[in-house]
């Protein structure tokens, strides 16, 4: 089942490269749907369920808002920010 993203990944991740990101160009499609369609490691490794963006937007987290905010404050880099060519975002 597809989810509608309510808090965009580029805002959560404080993305400085959103103009090059397929998630920004394909909004409001959730970034995890875009990663799932990618034919590379993101799909193969199923990275999205462990991503703070995915967890926050599912709305069924066992974490409190305060815990989620803490995770966002100490997050890692966005997996969509690397490896996409310009053709992938067109």
* 3-class SS of residue 69: helix
User: How many Å apart are CA 83 and CA 90, to the nearest integer?
Assistant: 15
Residue 68: count of CB within 10 angstroms of its CB: 16
Average pLDDT, the chain: 76
Cβ atoms of residues 15 and 81 within 8 Å: yes
Looking only at Cα atoms, what is the longest distance across the chain?
Answer: 39
**23-43: per-residue pLDDT in tens?**
999 999 999 999 888 877 777
Taking the C-alpha atoms of residue 23 and residue 10, their distance in angstroms, rounded to an integer, is 8
Domain boundaries, the chain: 32-89
> pTM score, two decimals?
0.64
Distance CA 75, CA 77 (A): 7
- pLDDT band per the 50, 70, 90 thresholds, residue 7: confident
């Amino acid at each position: 089942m597809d989810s509608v993203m309510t808090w965009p990944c580029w805002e959560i991740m404080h993305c400085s490269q959103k103009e090059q990101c397929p998630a920004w160009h394909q909004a409001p499609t959730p970034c995890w749907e875009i990663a799932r369609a990618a034919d590379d490691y993101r799909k193969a490794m199923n990275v999205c369920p462990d991503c703070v963006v995915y967890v926050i937007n599912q709305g069924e987290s066992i974490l409190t808002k305060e815990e989620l905010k803490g995770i966002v404050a100490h997050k890692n880099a966005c997996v969509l920010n690397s490896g996409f060519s310009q053709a992938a975002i067109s």
